Amino acid sequence: MKILVIGGGGREHALAWKLAQSPRCTKLYAAPGNPGIAQVAQCVPIGSDDIDGLLKFAKAEKIDLTVVGPERPLIAGIVDRFEAAGLRIFGPGKEAAQVEGSKAWSKAVMSHSAVPTAEFRAFTRMAEALHYIDNHEEPLVVKASGEAAGKGVFVCKTQDEARRAVEIIMKEKAFGPSGDAVVIEERLTGEEASILALVDDANIYMLESSQDHKAAFDNDQGPNTGGMGAYSPAPVVTDAIQAQIDREILVPMVHGMKTEGAPYRGLLYAGVMVTAGGPKTLEFNARFGDPECQPIMMRLKSDLVEVLEAVLDNRLDQITLEWDPRPALCVVMASGGYPDKYEKGKEITGLAEAGAMKDVVVFHAGTKAEGGKIFTDGGRVLGVTAIGQDITQARDRAYEAINAIHFHHAHWRTDIAAKAIRRLA
């Protein structure tokens, strides 16, 4: 079958890498793809936001299955457009993608559905948001309501920090129209986990747990990013916690969206804080996490094509996923200055050496090819991912591979999975 992957980041490289292994995949395309994806798929120069261009290509090439990586085309309604044209596509429709496209809408559904989450208020007027902050001295989290590639969240220790966050989002429009509304909520304490679940019209199937590292620097310091590394499984998610998340978060949220006229089908991502009082929801996303997708795809032994088709055919209850029991870990190599200003066009060396290491895959995120060489072309450049007998070995392999790769002003966190290692000690 012919398959099209939409997107060009690390998540999409991991999805393409896994899809290419399926015996059912006869031809794999990626739009726009990247130099890493080009090793397993034919890249076509169509942007992931160009829904008209993507639809035209899918029709012309008679694509059998389209897999959407990033959130923006989902929020824009690409699934509805493809399905109206009789094409099979994996992802939620436009109404359901509001779960990521509007944090205010998502939080309202959580509230109506009794999904445990932080207390919150949503605002469309900056003056009202600032007044609310003036009357709340406890630590707050300020979020752009719209999608912001994981960067529109400000964890604030003081009222001044919260006020400044509102100004950045609503006055300075750092995230464009995504900041037309803000959500302000109480700051939860605990340990975060990423819960990814497949959802069809009648079933929910949780994937193996993972944990993302959002902050730019070691010890969770610095501004939030799109993710600086991830590992799977996350020891903080015990069997009991996993059952609780399924029962108290996923089931009522999926039911709540259906009640709201936005039935969900696709991959639902729940960002969860495991607090002393149990798991509470931080946010929902409408697609695979990035970089969580990278270690999860390395651990998945089942045929991804079969998995995605089971969702589309509403037969999730008929499949059982097989997993490599060994943990996997991804470390993001970023451009100097990310998530703020950074330079592009720096030559990358050592990719072949790192990729040849045992149980290591270097997923490309922000790269470009010119004259037979690879250069940086984004903030998050590479997702160096390794699998090991235990999380320590996976970590050591990933960092060994990183040491073989070089580009000007590269930076990465050195403490990915430190929480897991401490918890398992």
Q: In this structure, are 199 and 237 located in the same domain?
A: yes
**Residue 349 CB partners (closer than 8 Å, separation 6+):** 405, 406, 407
pLDDT of residue 273: 96
Structural domain contains residue 231:
yes
Q: In this structure, are 309 and 396 located in the same domain?
A: no
Q: In this structure, are 308 and 198 located in the same domain?
A: yes
Q: In this structure, are 216 and 289 located in the same domain?
A: yes
Of 155, 186, 217, the position where a domain reaches its end is 186
> Distance between CA atoms of 263 and 271, rounded to whole angstroms?
20
- What residue ranges of the chain have pLDDT lower than 70? 150
Of 94, 110, 133, the position where a domain reaches its end is 94
Structural domain contains residue 109:
no
Q: In this structure, are 301 and 340 located in the same domain?
A: no
Q: What is the pLDDT of residues 117-154, one digit of tens each?
A: 999 999 999 999 999 999 998 899 999 999 877 678 89
Structural domain contains residue 223:
yes
pLDDT of residue 137: 85
Residue with tokens 């920090």: 161
Structural domain contains residue 110:
no
Structural domain contains residue 313:
yes
Q: In this structure, are 208 and 299 located in the same domain?
A: yes
**Domain with 305 in it:** 191-318
Structural domain contains residue 107:
no
Q: What is the pLDDT of residues 199-245, one digit of tens each?
A: 999 999 999 999 999 999 999 999 889 999 999 999 999 999 999 99
Residue 142 sits in a domain whose CATH number is 3.30.1490.20
Residue with tokens 């590292």: 213
Structural domain contains residue 47:
yes
pLDDT of residue 19: 98
Q: In this structure, are 241 and 311 located in the same domain?
A: yes
| Number of Cβ atoms within 10 Å of the Cβ of 42 | 14
Q: In this structure, are 354 and 412 located in the same domain?
A: yes
Q: In this structure, are 36 and 150 located in the same domain?
A: no
For the chain, the domain total comes to: 4
User: Quick one: 16 exposed, middle or buried, by C-beta within 10 A (0-12, 13-18, 19+)?
Assistant: buried
pLDDT of residue 128: 95
Q: In this structure, are 200 and 283 located in the same domain?
A: yes
pLDDT of residue 269: 98
pLDDT of residue 244: 98
| Number of Cβ atoms within 10 Å of the Cβ of 323 | 14
Q: In this structure, are 204 and 311 located in the same domain?
A: yes
Which stretch of DSSP H or E encloses residue 278? strand 278-285
Of 134, 166, 186, the position where a domain reaches its end is 186
pLDDT of residue 86: 98
> Distance between CA atoms of 333 and 402, rounded to whole angstroms?
8
Structural domain contains residue 105:
no
Residue 273 sits in a domain whose CATH number is 3.30.470.20
Residue 64 sits in a domain whose CATH number is 3.40.50.20
Q: In this structure, are 221 and 309 located in the same domain?
A: yes
Q: For residue 272, what are the CA distances in angstroms to 5, 105, 242?
A: 28, 18, 11
| Number of Cβ atoms within 10 Å of the Cβ of 236 | 19
pLDDT of residue 402: 98
